[in-house]
Amino acid sequence: MKMKLLDGKKCAESLVTDIARKVTGYVESGLRKPHMTIILVGKHAPSESYVKSKVGSCEKAGFESVLIRLPDTISEAELLERVATINNDPTTDGLIVQLPLPRHINQQNVINAISPEKDIDGFHPTNFGRMTLGQKAFRPATAYGICKLLQYYNIPVKGKHCVVIGRSNIVGKPISIMLSNDFDIGNATVTLAHIETPRELLLDETRRADIVIVAVGIPGFITEDMVKEGVVMIDVGINRLENGKIVGDVDFEHVAGKCSWITPVPGGVGRMTVAALMINTLMAYQNNFNLA
């Protein structure tokens, strides 16, 4: 099987170029630029790199971005106050509180405190609920990015058997809902597997899946014997090995040959997550200015 790469870098660049074109039009008509605010608590190396790529993408899209760095000693109450201030700032369209947060801060309390109108990560219960019900919402960025990547490469999803492995609130759960919903990229028959899924059942499912989406955080989790010839493989994992190399959850070297399409790591889903954040921020901005 001659596999083809689902190039997240190329797709993300194309989406951001489209966004930049729209922003140029809005600014030429006298509007301010879209504005993203990111709160980063503490010094977590992977978060530093994710935030850097979000700020870089804002520049390319023609957005303003502000990065607020807070010490990891900040209390939950103080952080919630900062969130409330940004919620009330009409010049900010989208707010991201970079996760993970230090252990003494309840992550869900912070997510719940972000205004749903500025929740470009799509993690707030209002957006998650609306998305689940098939209503207009900010869709969780990584899941939305995967949909956009499938769309860009015209990968058929409707009627396909899709297996999602991992049920996190930020990836596995939302992508399983989105692909099974009656969305433009959806209408698949979806199985959601997780840590309590018996191994034999998992193998039964992955071996007959048309599309496998894996988000477990274990290098080499998907092996050649687990998938059928021609599978579309979406690797969400980002794992840093001891030698510093970044790898996904798929044993790429041995699995790629069986795939019709596969995402590389890096350069796959990670890029698309940032692109989806840009789409959500543009949507927040358009909502603020009653644009189409």
- Closest C-alpha to 58, from 96, 84, 30, 87: 96
Given 7, 93, 119, 121, the catalytic residue: 121
Nearer to ligand NAD, 82 or 271 (CB): 271
33 catalytic residue (yes or no):
no
Opening angle at CA 120, ends 50 and 7, nearest 5: 50
Task: Provide the angle, in degrees to the nearest 10, between the axes of the packed helices 269-288 and 8-28.
Answer: 20
Give whichever of 62 and 264 is closer to ligand NAD, judged by the CB atom: 264
Report how many residues bind ligand NAD under the rule CB under 6 A. Answer: 22
Please tell me whether residue 270 binds ligand NAD under the rule CB under 6 A.
yes
Q: Which is nearer to ligand NAD, 237 or 264 (CB)?
A: 237
Show contacts with ligand NAD in window 153-212 (CB under 6 A): 165-168, 170-172, 193-195, 197
Instruction: Give the range of 34-42, 70-78, 251-259, 268-276 binding ligand NAD by CB under 6 A.
Output: 268-276
Strands 64-70 and 4-5: unpaired
Inter-residue contact 276 to 141 (CB < 8 Å)? yes
Among 206, 273, 280, 281, binds ligand NAD (CB under 6 A): 273
Q: How near is the Cβ of 239 to ligand NAD at its closest, in Å?
A: 5
Choosing from 127, 142, 206, 281, the residue that interacts with ligand NAD (CB under 6 A) is 142
Stretch of 80-88, 180-188, 215-223, 252-260 lying at the interface with ligand NAD (CB under 6 A): 215-223
Q: Tokens for 261, please give them.
A: 């399409």
* CB nearer ligand NAD, residue 47 or residue 115: 47
Q: Which of 64, 98, 70, 100 is nearest to 82 (CA)?
A: 70
Are 94 and 118 in contact, with CB atoms under 8 Å apart? yes
Shortest gap between Cβ of 257 and ligand NAD (angstroms)? 23
Q: Which of 235, 237, 279 is nearest to 255 (CA)?
A: 235
CB of 263 to ligand NAD, least distance (A): 9
Nearer to ligand NAD, 145 or 186 (CB): 145
Q: Is 98 a catalytic residue?
A: yes
Any residues with CB less than 8 A from the CB of 250 and at least 6 apart, and which? 214, 220, 221, 222, 233, 235, 237, 262, 265
CA-wise closest residue to 94 among 61, 128, 117: 117
| Catalytic one of 33, 54, 118, 148 | 54
CA 217 – CA 270 distance, rounded (Å): 13
Residue 151: active-site member: no
- Footprint of ligand NAD on this chain (CB under 6 A)? 142, 165-168, 170-172, 193-195, 197, 215-217, 236-239, 269-270, 273
Catalytic positions are 54, 98, 121
